[in-house]
Structure 1
Amino acid sequence: MKTILITGCSSGFGLEIARYFLDRDWNVVATMRSPRQDLLPASSRLRILPLDVTDEASIRAVVAQAGPVDVLVNNAGIGALAAVEAQAPAQVREIFETNTLGSIAMCQAFIPQMRERAQGVVINVTSSVTLRSLPLLAVYTASKAAVNAFTESMALELASVGVQARLVLPGRAPSTRFAENARPRMEGTIPDAYGALAAQVFANFQANTQVTHASDVAEAVWQAATDPGAPMRIPAGEDAREWAATAV
């Protein structure tokens, strides 16, 4: 019976990925900053552990508690809509520390055990915004694009020791708490000069009926975890697949 460890399981994609693998009889280590036992059905195959991917001590504790892991899913992430000129340096660092450096740190923590067993899969969940430029998302996009480049280069190293690395690129998912969690970071980040642009961006979001559901992401992660022939980049969601098909 294989074990998967997923970061960012308190809501959205991470929570659905955990449910998906539990339903398929995997051992699941679901991590989140503030653990809640009521989010997932009780199971002898489930462990819910605290984890802050920006904290080295927290990562070390999870490695010790989780034991052998066959699949690592770096899903935890944060973001904000903002004009570049108005995004505070501290917020830029926060986004990169979670989305980029947090993913790298988790890879560094779990790859050694996979390498020793000459098997395992690392799956980094990024975003389809890395396939098509959008306004007011420059820092978030940069943080995710960095993970794309990191993963593709790392995959070349890992292949030599029997470990695989994959990317899952979700589209826009209005049903998750991503936008809700991002809202506190957006205050004062869109100056009046960008008001018309921001209004158009929000209108486009509302008008676009192509969205990504959490189940789309769970299915993409399942493919990445279980299909040795899966492509490096797996778009998740109708909108993400369309963008991938037209990306230059």
Structure 2
Amino acid sequence: MPSILITGTSSGFGFATAQLFLAQGWEVIATRRSPDKQAMPRHERLHILPLDVTDRASIAQAVADAGPLDALVNNAGVGMLNVLEGVDIAKARELFETNVLGAMAVTQAVLPGMRARKAGVIVNISSSITLRPFPALSVYSASKAAINAFTESLALEVAQFGIRTRLVLPGSAPTTSFGKNAVARMGMEVPAPYEAFVQDYLATMRRSTEKTEPDEVAQAVWRAVTESEAPMRLPAGVDAETIFAETAAAH
């Protein structure tokens, strides 16, 4: 029975991905910082483990408890919506610690087992904003662009061991923290000179009909894991598909 470890399964993309792989007969190790945060339906093939991607001891314990893995999905992450002048650099470091170094650390922990078995798939959740810029997301975008570069370079290192890496790039998502904490993420305020600009941008976001649902991301992850010829970058949602088309036309 194939097994998959998914980080950040408390809600949204991670939760939906765990449910899809369970439905497809996989053994699912669903990890989250707070195991009791949101209950998943009980299932004999579902194992919920605590995992803080910023804590090396926590990572090592979760990977040891998980046992042999056929796939890893690095989904855990935090958002930040603010213009650069309003960003506390200490908070930006925290974001990179989770979004980038956390994914790297978990990947590093699972690679020896995959390498020994000469098989495995690592899927990293990025974002379509790495293909088309948006305001007030410069720090978050930079963290996701780093994930893109990391994933594509890592692919060249591990292909010799039968390991594949892939990227899933969702469009805008109604389930993320951006909706509820768009301006005040991590206690930061938008500087006064930018307030009107940011409010106009947020209003545009709210009016947009281009939304990526969690199930769309889960389906993209399924394709990344199960299709050996799947492309390196897989869009998820109408917004991402539009961006891919625009990018192809521009080049």
TM-score range, shorter chain: over 0.9
In the alignment, the residues of structure 1 paired with residue 176 and residue 188 of structure 2 have an alpha-carbon distance, to the nearest angstrom, of: 23
Map 1:24-35 → 2, pairs under 5 A: 24-35=24-35
In the alignment, the residues of structure 1 paired with residue 213 and residue 198 of structure 2 have an alpha-carbon distance, to the nearest angstrom, of: 24
**Change in CA separation of 1:91 and 1:240 when aligned onto 2, cut-off 3 Å:** same
**What is the letter of the counterpart of residue 203 of structure 2?**
A
**Aligned-partner SS, 1:31:** strand
Q: Deviations over 1:122-163 (max 9, x none)?
A: 000011110111110000000010010010000011111110
**1:102 maps to 2:95:** no
Q: Report the TM-score, using the length of structure 2 for normalisation.
A: 0.95
**Change in CA separation of 1:181 and 1:162 when aligned onto 2, cut-off 3 Å:** farther
Q: Report the TM-score, using the length of structure 1 for normalisation.
A: 0.96
The residue that corresponds to 2:229 in the other structure is: 229
**Change in CA separation of 1:196 and 1:90 when aligned onto 2, cut-off 3 Å:** same
**Aligned-partner SS, 2:105:** helix
CA contact (8 A) 1:100 1:143 kept: yes
CA contact (8 A) 2:169 2:234 kept: yes
Map 1:4-23 → 2, pairs under 5 A: 4-23=4-23
The residue that corresponds to 2:70 in the other structure is: 70
**Aligned-partner SS, 1:243:** helix
In the alignment, the residues of structure 1 paired with residue 181 and residue 70 of structure 2 have an alpha-carbon distance, to the nearest angstrom, of: 30
The residue that corresponds to 1:117 in the other structure is: 117
CA contact (8 A) 1:83 1:189 kept: no
Shift of 1:64: 1.0
Number of aligned residues: 248
Q: Deviations over 1:85-121 (max 9, x none)?
A: 1211111001100000000101100011101111000
CA contact (8 A) 1:155 1:165 kept: yes
| Displacement over 6 Å in runs of 4+ | none
**What is the letter of the counterpart of residue 107 of structure 1?**
T
CA contact (8 A) 1:121 1:164 kept: yes
In the alignment, the residues of structure 1 paired with residue 54 and residue 106 of structure 2 have an alpha-carbon distance, to the nearest angstrom, of: 9
Shift of 1:206: 1.5
**Change in CA separation of 1:178 and 1:19 when aligned onto 2, cut-off 3 Å:** farther
**Structure 1 regions of 5+ residues with no counterpart?**
none
CA contact (8 A) 2:10 2:37 kept: no
**What is the letter of the counterpart of residue 134 of structure 1?**
F
In the alignment, the residues of structure 2 paired with residue 227 and residue 111 of structure 1 have an alpha-carbon distance, to the nearest angstrom, of: 20
CA contact (8 A) 1:81 1:186 kept: no
Shift of 1:72: 0.2
Query: Which one is further off, 66-75 or 79-88?
Result: 79-88
The residue that corresponds to 1:3 in the other structure is: 3
In the alignment, the residues of structure 2 paired with residue 244 and residue 164 of structure 1 have an alpha-carbon distance, to the nearest angstrom, of: 22
The residue that corresponds to 2:175 in the other structure is: 175
In the alignment, the residues of structure 1 paired with residue 37 and residue 87 of structure 2 have an alpha-carbon distance, to the nearest angstrom, of: 35
**Aligned-partner SS, 1:21:** helix
In the alignment, the residues of structure 2 paired with residue 175 and residue 114 of structure 1 have an alpha-carbon distance, to the nearest angstrom, of: 32
**Structure 2 regions of 5+ residues with no counterpart?**
none
In the alignment, the residues of structure 1 paired with residue 145 and residue 124 of structure 2 have an alpha-carbon distance, to the nearest angstrom, of: 11
Query: Which one is further off, 194-203 or 21-30?
Result: 194-203
